[in-house]
Structure 1
C-alpha cells in the first residue's frame, strides 16, 4: 500500500466493539446522504424555479424528484440520458425518510401493471379455438396463440420494470437499487401493504438475477489493495470488529486469507467477504485466531477456519451464537417469575397444577450457583441468581473463577439445547445455526469463553460454536434438515443434550 493509501485508511473509523453504534453499510442508514448540486441542472432551469424547488440537493422538492422518476420511466429508450437517471438517484438521496417512503408507495401503486389490459388479453386468449388438426388451420391458430401470449408476457410486467432495467445498466444504478430495496423492506416492517410487497418481490427477483453467482468475481483481498477497498472491510466487518491497522494487517497477512465477491457494476465494494485462518486444528477460541502470534507456517496448516462469514461454502467455522442470550434471559425471567408465584401460593393443588413452570437448572447446578453467589441478596432460587449475574453491568462474573465454574455447566448445556432443540417453524431458532445447517453442516463443538469481547459476552456469554462441513455428508445433512428439521451433532454436543431431560429431538 502506498503512502497516500495508508493516509486514507488511517482516517477511516475503526469499528467499535458495539456494532449497534456503527452502521454496517449504506443500506442501514436512515439519514440523508449529502450530495453536491447538479450544476448542469441548475443552469437549465429558470432562476426563479431553481430558487423555489432545489436551492440545494438536500432541500430538493419532493415533486421535482417525482417528476424525474416519471421521466426516467416514460421517456423513450433513445431519449433517456444518463443525466435523467443521475437526477433521479441524487434527488432520491436528498429526500427525507418520510418522503422516500411516500415516493416508493407512489411507485408501487401508480406504476404497477395495467390490469384492464391483462384482463382483455386473457379474454382474447380464452376466446381462441384450439387447433383442429389440419396443418393450415393449426398454423394459423398457433400464430394467434403465440401473439397473445407474447402480449400477455409484456402486459404482466409492471411499469416500474422499465425503471429497474434502466437503472441496472446505468453507472452506479445497481447499488442504488439495493438502497431502494433496503428502504422498501424498512417500510414493510411498519405495515403490510400489498402493492409494496409486490414491488419488493419483483425487485428481489430482478436483483437475484443481476447478482447471481455467475456475475460475481472472487477476489483475494490483500494489504496491497486500494485503501478505499480496505476501508470498506473495516467498516463492514460485523462479526469480529477490526480495532486498528495492526489488526487489519494481521488478518490479511501470513496464515490468513480474506476473499470478497465483487460485481462489475459495483467496483471496489465487496458484496460478501469472508476471513480465513489457516490452522493446524479447529480453533476453540476466537482469541487464538485473532491474536495468537506468530501464526503457524502455512505449509503446516491442515484446517481452513472461516471465522467471519457472510455467505459461503466452508469446511469448519468458529461462529457466534447471536440469539442465545436473548432466548436464555427471556426463559430465566419468565421461569423465575413463575417459581416465585408458586412459592407464594399456599395451595399445594395450585403448585402442582402449573403446566408452564420448568426448572432450567439441574439440582447440582442450582446448588453450585447458590453457594457461589452468597453476596447476591434477595435471590430465591438458582435461576434468579443466574439472571442477576448475566444481566449485571460490565459482566463482573467473567473475572471470578468461582462464578465461572458455577455458570459453565448450565450455560454450556442450555446452549446445546438452544442450538439443537429450540426451533421456529421446524428449523433452528438461531439464525447463524440455521444458515450453516441448511448448507449441510453439523454442530461439532460448543466452546466455553471463546469470545470474551463485550459483544460476545452480550450475545452468548462468550460461547462460540464450531460447525463442520464434511464433503461426503453435506448433501445428506442439508436434505434431512430441509425435510424434517433434523440436526446432526457430534457425540460431545449430544452429551450436553442428554444431561437435560432426554428430549426426543436429540440427534445423531
Structure 2
C-alpha cells in the first residue's frame, strides 16, 4: 500500500467530518440541557442535547449569555466540601479507588460538560467561538476566569501539536481558505485578491498554516515568508507590487514577515513556535541555499512606552508633541528626521525594558525571544503604513533564528529572561540609556 496515499485518505476522512447540525429544541432551557447532558448515559440523547446547547448558546442575548457563563462558573464549580473529605480519605489510605475519587472531585463539572458537548460533530469550532465570547466578558466579570481556566486546559490538550496539520497555502488553495487568509491577516492588511496573489503565488513567496482536523476549513495560525538575498530592512520592499521575483535557488534568507493567529477563542494556546520550526524544516529540505532565518516584526508596544518615557522629560516636549501627532494621524511628520534616535529608543525598549514579571514589555519580543531568537537589528522607516506609524513610528525589528543557538537562547530566556542581541543593537540601546534628544539625562 502506498503510505502517502493512505495518509492522504486518512486526513481526507478527518477533513470530511460533517459540520454542526441544527436540531429542533425540546423546550428545556440551556441550563436544564446542561444538567441533563451531565447526567445522561445515552449516547444518542447526549448527542441531541449537545447540539441543542450549542444552538441555544448561539442565540443568547447579551444578558442571557452572562447568566449562562455565571451558571458554568458557580453551579458547575468544584464541590470543595466533597474534595476536602476525599483528600482526607486519600491521605489516610492511598488506594487506587480513593485516588480516582479524589481526581474526579478535583475537576469542575464544566470540564466534563465541555467534553461531552465536543463529541458532537462540528462542535470543536463552536466551543472555540464560545470561549471567544467568554473572553469578552472577563473584564466586567473576573470570576468567569475560573471557567476560562477550564477552556484553556481542555484546548491545550485538544489543540496540541500532535493533532495539528501543516499545510502550505497556494494560489490554487480552496477559495474559502484564501478568503480567510485575507480576513485573518493581522499584521499587514491584504488589500484585495491581487495583493494576496502576490504573497502566495510567486516562487519566492510562501504561506504556511496549521489546521485542526475538527476545523478543516479554518486556519488556526499562518505565517507569510519571503525568500530574499540578505536581511531586509523594510516591509515595503517585500510587499512592493513591481518587485523583481527571485528564483528560490538565488535566495539565502527566509524572512517571516507576518504571523497571524486566526482564532480569538484559542488565545493563550501556543502554535507559533511549532509553526516556525515546521516551516524552517520544510524550507531547509526544499531550498538548500537558505542559510539565514529571520523575522521582520512589528513593535506594537513601542509608541505607548515612548510616550510615557518622553512625558518624564520636560526638555523633550517638542518630540513628545511630534510623537502624539504621529499616533493620532498615522504620519511621521518631523519624527522622520530622527531615524537614528528612534532606533536607539526602540533598541532600549526591546532589550532593557521589562514588566513586573521580568519579561520584556513587548509581546512580539516575548514570543520570539522565548522561541530562542535574538534581536538582530532595528530599522527606521520599515513600515510606513498608518498602523505601522501609529504603533511604532514605522520601526520594525529583525529577530534572528540562529539554528546553532536556538536551544541555548531559549533556555537562558526561560531561566532568567536573558535577552540576546547583536552588538549593533546593544550599542544603540547603550546610547539611548545615556542620551535623549541629544541631551544627557537621568533616564536617557
Q: Into which bin does the TM-score normalised by the smaller protein fall?
A: 0.7 to 0.9
The reply to whether residue 177 of structure 1 matches residue 127 of structure 2 is yes
User: 2:378 is paired with a residue of what secondary structure?
Assistant: strand
Report the counterpart of residue 272 of structure 1 in structure 2: 221
Alpha-carbon shift at residue 397 of structure 1 (Å): 4.3
5 Å-filtered alignment, 1:76-225, equals 76-128=41-93, 145-193=95-143, 196-225=144-173
Structure 1 CA distance, aligned partners of 2:318 and 2:87?
68
Structure 1 CA distance, aligned partners of 2:233 and 2:21?
53
Report the counterpart of residue 353 of structure 2 in structure 1: 422
Report the counterpart of residue 17 of structure 2 in structure 1: none
Alpha-carbon shift at residue 171 of structure 1 (Å): 1.6
- Tell me, yes or no, if the aligned pair for 2:332 and 2:393 is still in contact at 8 Å: no
Of 181-190 and 468-477, the range deviating more from structure 2? 181-190
Report the counterpart of residue 392 of structure 2 in structure 1: 460
Which aligned segments of 4 or more residues in structure 1 are displaced greater than 4 angstroms?
Answer: 395-398
The reply to whether residue 230 of structure 1 matches residue 162 of structure 2 is no
Alpha-carbon shift at residue 316 of structure 1 (Å): 0.7
The reply to whether residue 388 of structure 1 matches residue 321 of structure 2 is yes
CA spacing shift, 1:96–1:224, aligned 2, 3 Å? same
Alpha-carbon shift at residue 395 of structure 1 (Å): 4.8
TM-score normalised over the length of structure 2: 0.81
CA spacing shift, 1:283–1:199, aligned 2, 3 Å? same
- Tell me, yes or no, if the aligned pair for 1:446 and 1:466 is still in contact at 8 Å: yes
5 Å-filtered alignment, 1:296-311, equals 296-310=246-260, 311=272
5 Å-filtered alignment, 1:43-54, equals none
- Tell me, yes or no, if the aligned pair for 1:263 and 1:271 is still in contact at 8 Å: yes
The runs of 5 or more residues in structure 1 that have no matched partner are 1-35, 46-62, 129-141, 340-380, 504-508
The reply to whether residue 41 of structure 1 matches residue 18 of structure 2 is no
Alpha-carbon shift at residue 41 of structure 1 (Å): 2.0
Report the counterpart of residue 70 of structure 1 in structure 2: 35
Alpha-carbon shift at residue 81 of structure 1 (Å): 4.3
CA spacing shift, 1:160–1:397, aligned 2, 3 Å? closer
User: 1:427 is paired with a residue of what secondary structure?
Assistant: coil
The reply to whether residue 494 of structure 1 matches residue 426 of structure 2 is yes
**Count of residues in correspondence between the two structures:** 383
5 Å-filtered alignment, 1:349-368, equals none
Report the counterpart of residue 15 of structure 2 in structure 1: none
Report the counterpart of residue 56 of structure 1 in structure 2: none
Alpha-carbon shift at residue 79 of structure 1 (Å): 4.3
Structure 2 CA distance, aligned partners of 1:180 and 1:421?
38
Report the counterpart of residue 316 of structure 1 in structure 2: 294
- Tell me, yes or no, if the aligned pair for 2:331 and 2:389 is still in contact at 8 Å: no
Residues 368-419 of structure 1: CA deviation (Å, up to 9, x unaligned)? xxxxxxxxxxxxx4x2111222222545544x7xx623x2232111111111
The reply to whether residue 335 of structure 1 matches residue 312 of structure 2 is yes
- Tell me, yes or no, if the aligned pair for 1:389 and 1:395 is still in contact at 8 Å: no
Structure 1 CA distance, aligned partners of 2:167 and 2:196?
17
Alpha-carbon shift at residue 93 of structure 1 (Å): 1.3
User: 1:100 is paired with a residue of what secondary structure?
Assistant: helix
Residues 127-181 of structure 1: CA deviation (Å, up to 9, x unaligned)? 44xxxxxxxxxxxxx8xx1222222222323222221111222222111222232
Alpha-carbon shift at residue 277 of structure 1 (Å): 0.6
Report the counterpart of residue 259 of structure 1 in structure 2: 208
The reply to whether residue 431 of structure 1 matches residue 363 of structure 2 is yes
- Tell me, yes or no, if the aligned pair for 1:101 and 1:183 is still in contact at 8 Å: no
- Tell me, yes or no, if the aligned pair for 2:332 and 2:389 is still in contact at 8 Å: no
Structure 2 CA distance, aligned partners of 1:390 and 1:67?
55
Alpha-carbon shift at residue 502 of structure 1 (Å): 5.7
- Tell me, yes or no, if the aligned pair for 2:372 and 2:407 is still in contact at 8 Å: yes
Alpha-carbon shift at residue 96 of structure 1 (Å): 2.0
Alpha-carbon shift at residue 331 of structure 1 (Å): 2.0
Alpha-carbon shift at residue 501 of structure 1 (Å): 3.5
- Tell me, yes or no, if the aligned pair for 2:370 and 2:410 is still in contact at 8 Å: yes
CA spacing shift, 1:464–1:246, aligned 2, 3 Å? same
User: 1:189 is paired with a residue of what secondary structure?
Assistant: coil
Structure 1 CA distance, aligned partners of 2:119 and 2:44?
15
The reply to whether residue 446 of structure 1 matches residue 424 of structure 2 is no
Q: CA RMSD in A?
A: 2.3
User: 2:230 is paired with a residue of what secondary structure?
Assistant: coil
- Tell me, yes or no, if the aligned pair for 2:331 and 2:386 is still in contact at 8 Å: no
The reply to whether residue 409 of structure 1 matches residue 340 of structure 2 is yes
Structure 1 CA distance, aligned partners of 2:177 and 2:330?
36
CA spacing shift, 1:477–1:122, aligned 2, 3 Å? closer
